[in-house]
């Protein structure tokens, strides 16, 4: 466990089943559906969609929150955003916020179609990067009646400005230029270049926030190997 946090907590009070559904891009989205064992079959239940951190999969944090909320009586659905985990999408680990937002709405589609779910009481939780995505989703999908964020991370601002606005305009322009050049490389058959938001090694100069990222994403209990 990291800092005493049991990120892979399971509960005898809920049942878990793997589910799949299509988003409007006809991409297969994978999720885990958590159902309280004491669910009242005579009434329709409230439900919550739970999104994982950027760079993670549903097994990292999302399942934990989904389990805890299911213990409190909600039907919950943790999902792998498109391009991540068990969901479809090529190339793997692609960053496409508009499709991520669609995935949350597709999860609402799925939950609303279940006979034991109250369509008027569906909410969403976004963890870290999903915190910003779920806010975007709620802006255009009024079926989300309530949302909550955990350690919400604005991915757009972080990429534009760097941590604590440490990235200059010139550095940002250089990154964009490098990305454009990389398109030329890959179009002509060159090797795909994957960027990384988290350091792969720690040294005496590693920023404290990056150390926290490393503890969560890079230790053996956390990573999911990239499948190309």
Report the length, in residues, of the chain: 228
- Tell me what pLDDT residue 228 has: 46
CATH fold of the domain at 14-161: Rossmann fold (3.40.50)
Q: What are phi and psi of 117, to 5 degrees?
A: -105, 135
Give the DSSP per-residue string, 35-90.
EETT--TTS-EEEEEEEPPTT--TTTTHHHHHHHHHHTT-EEEEEPPTTSTTS--S
* Residue 120 pLDDT class (50, 70, 90 cuts): very high
CA 88 to chain CA centroid, nearest Å: 14
pLDDT greater at residue 119 or residue 164:
119
The tokens of 175 are what?
A: 């990154």
* Ranges of each domain in the chain: 14-161
Select the highest-mean-pLDDT range: 2-16, 49-63, 135-149, 195-209.
Answer: 135-149
- Tell me what pLDDT residue 227 has: 54
Please determine, for residue 151, whether its predicted confidence score (pLDDT) is greater than 50. yes
Q: What is the value of pTM for the model shown?
A: 0.86
């Amino acid at each position: 466990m990291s800092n005493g946090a049991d990120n892979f907590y399971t509960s005898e009070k809920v049942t878990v089943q793997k589910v799949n559904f299509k988003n409007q891009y006809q991409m297969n989205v994978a999720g885990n559906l958590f159902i309280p064992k004491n669910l009242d079959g005579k009434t329709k239940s409230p439900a919550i969609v739970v999104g994982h951190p950027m760079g993670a999969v549903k097994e990292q944090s999302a399942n934990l929150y989904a389990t805890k909320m299911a213990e409190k009586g909600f039907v919950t659905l943790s999902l792998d955003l498109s391009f991540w985990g068990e969901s479809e999408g090529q190339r793997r680990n692609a960053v496409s916020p508009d499709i991520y937002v669609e995935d949350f709405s597709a999860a609402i589609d799925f939950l609303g179609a279940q006979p034991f779910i109250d369509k008027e009481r569906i909410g969403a939780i976004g963890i870290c990067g999903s915190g910003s995505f779920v806010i975007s989703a709620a802006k255009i999908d009024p079926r989300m009646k309530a949302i909550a964020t955990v350690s919400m991370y604005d991915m757009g601002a972080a990429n534009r400005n760097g941590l604590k606005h440490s990235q200059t305009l010139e550095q940002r322009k250089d990154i964009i230029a490098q990305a454009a050049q990389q398109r030329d490389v890959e179009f002509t058959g060159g090797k795909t270049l994957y960027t990384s938001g988290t350091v792969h090694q720690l040294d005496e100069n590693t920023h404290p926030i990056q150390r926290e990222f490393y503890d969560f994403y890079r230790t053996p209990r956390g990573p999911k190997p990239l499948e190309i």
